Amino acid sequence: MIVVLNFGSQFAHLIARRVRDLGVKAEILPFDTPAKHILTFKPAGIIFSGGPASVLEKRSPRPARGVFHLGIPILGICYGEQVMAEMLGGKVSAGLRREFGKEMLVIGRKGELFNGLGKNEVVWFSHGDQVVKIPKGFVRFASTHDCSNAAIADKTLNFYGIQFHPEVTHTKNGTKILSNFLFNICHAKKDWRVADLKKNLIGVFKNHIGSDHVLVGISGGVDSLVAATVLHKAIGSQLHAVFVDTGLLRENEARDAALSLRAQGFQNLRVMPAEAVFLRRLCGVQDPEQKRKIIGHTFIKIFERVAKREFRRYPIKYFAQGTIYPDRIESAEPSRHASKIKSHHNLTLPEKLDFEIIEPLRDLYKDEVRRLGLLMNLPKNLLWRHPFPGPGLAVRIVGEVTRERLKILREADAIYLQELQRANEYDKIWQAFAVLLPLKTVGVMGDARTYEYIVSLRAVDSIDGMSADWHKMPQDLLERISSRIVREVRGVNRVLYDITQKPPATIEYE
């Protein structure tokens, strides 16, 4: 496996994903993880991610010095190159011209890292500083017009530094560079395959759970569906699936998920209608964080009650969740270098729980979860659904959630998604949904004045939800969606299209 030390880069997940796509497991760790702890993962190589800091600033993030004494190959990317060069005796300074975007890399020596590449390669830069003096023992491999040390290496120690980003698609042969690092330099084994994962996961959970019983919460989203299916294959009727219908789901969502689980042969599946409880607890609550916490706690409370009441005959020892790798990484270390933006629904658990938690998908990225689902014969249309947040439509109604508002939003959202599917636009978008802005504005319909709510349409292109761009939607499609919503949904007389990127806006509204 490969350890990615994260220096605060928005691309750390992208690096890990690229490594996994090449068939090698990657684990992201905080930049200052002690060398001893890194060794416990037995990595074949270490990658230093980029990051927004400058090594010229006091207290900029540094890896533990011991990392350089492990005898393990290191690839430093961008800030990662600079911090490595600086700590090993080189010098970094603010570049004359800041390089952002595509640049032409001129490769002087290919070595193992650039094996198979041309003499000139298009690469992607995003940093102001650069290495101006390389450490002793290092040689220069490549440069650009404004950056003479765009690639450096100490071939004896197997330390490599590149100023550009091989993980982004703008670097045309980036995957080849990463592959060279993994297989020519680290001699990593290609053993991270979703087909093997399926077998391993089922085996591991069969052993771990033994004859105990497990409760799993189905939320309607892809992750909990796949997690439940893995567990069902491992322990069959010892799995008790509960679908809490919070009343905060999209149209037909509870029904579709229940149907597909029944088709999988789930014996123990309960659908708990709980809309009334959720709406009562959310009554009068405006604050987004408060809403998220109430929903998370109510969810768990209902599970505990179900576990006690419905399964008295089977003592439930474990509670399974569909937490995936990015959820876990983001909740573990937002502390020092990022502020908390939102509480994640899956993770706002009360401290005292009656069961132990298991997370079958805790090491997987979304695309790996989907491929796993396909291998277990789950329907493609459910697996490739856009992500849906745990707190559901509650975070897509700004302010108080009421039954009337939910009904309006559900109808508008269904029209929106239906039109996207019809126009073959749905699969081009990473996530699309409608949002209700319960602000009334004046309109005119027929000859009468209307005074109704606003619906905002959000559609974003993204890789992992960490950053996102608004989707450039065909205008005729937008027009069709807008006129259908205003015509067909009672309570809405105005439709907006959201053209904000993340950052600065988040994808969801709360």
Least distance from ligand XMP to the Cβ atom of residue 317, Å: 25
**How many Cα neighbours within 13 Å face the side chain of 309?**
9
With respect to ligand XMP, which residue has the nearer C-beta, 93 or 467? 467
> Does residue 147 sit in helix, strand or coil?
coil
Would the annotation count 222 as a binding residue? yes
Question: Around Cβ 376, how many Cβ atoms within 10 Å?
Answer: 16
**Binding flag, residue 431, ligand XMP (CB under 6 A):** yes
Q: Name the one residue in this structure whose structure tokens are 């006690």.
A: 308
Q: Where are the alpha helices (DSSP H) in 22-140?
A: 35-39, 79-87
Least distance from ligand XMP to the Cβ atom of residue 253, Å: 14
Candidates 13, 291, 344, 385; binder of ligand XMP (CB under 6 A) is: 344
Q: Give residues with Cβ within 8 angstroms of 422, minimum separation 6.
A: none
> Is 78 an annotated catalytic residue?
yes
Least distance from ligand XMP to the Cβ atom of residue 499, Å: 15
**Binding flag, residue 30, ligand XMP (CB under 6 A):** no
**Binding flag, residue 166, ligand XMP (CB under 6 A):** no
Q: Are 70 and 43 in contact (CB under 8 A)?
A: no
**Binding flag, residue 413, ligand XMP (CB under 6 A):** no
Q: Site size for ligand XMP, by CB under 6 A? A: 15
Q: Which stretch binds ligand XMP (CB under 6 A): 46-54, 102-110, 243-251, 499-507?
A: 499-507
Least distance from ligand XMP to the Cβ atom of residue 507, Å: 3
Q: Is 360 exposed, middle or buried (0-12, 13-18, 19+ CB in 10 A)?
A: buried
With respect to ligand XMP, which residue has the nearer C-beta, 232 or 344? 344
Rounded Cα distance between 385 and 417, Å, is: 10
> Does residue 281 sit in helix, strand or coil?
helix
Helix (H) or strand (E) holding 491: none
Candidates 8, 63, 135, 390; binder of ligand XMP (CB under 6 A) is: 390
With respect to ligand XMP, which residue has the nearer C-beta, 135 or 288? 288
With respect to ligand XMP, which residue has the nearer C-beta, 366 or 494? 366
With respect to ligand XMP, which residue has the nearer C-beta, 181 or 388? 388
With respect to ligand XMP, which residue has the nearer C-beta, 46 or 432? 432
Phi, psi torsion values for 372, nearest 5 degrees: -65, -45
Pairing of strands 356-358, 316-320: parallel
DSSP per-residue string spanning 33-54: --HHHHHTT--SEEEE---S--
Across the strands, what pairs with 445? 448
Q: What residues numbered 358-387 form the site for ligand XMP, per CB under 6 A?
A: 387
Candidates 92, 465, 492, 495; binder of ligand XMP (CB under 6 A) is: 465
Rounded Cα distance between 255 and 270, Å, is: 12
Q: Which of 121, 167, 330, 411 is catalytic?
A: 167
Q: Which two tokens stand for residue 474?
A: 């065909």
> What residue numbers does the annotated binding site cover?
219-225
Residues that constitute the known binding site for ATP: 219-225
Residues that bind ligand XMP (CB under 6 A): 341-342, 344-346, 387, 389-391, 431, 465, 502, 506-508
Catalytic residues: 78, 165, 167
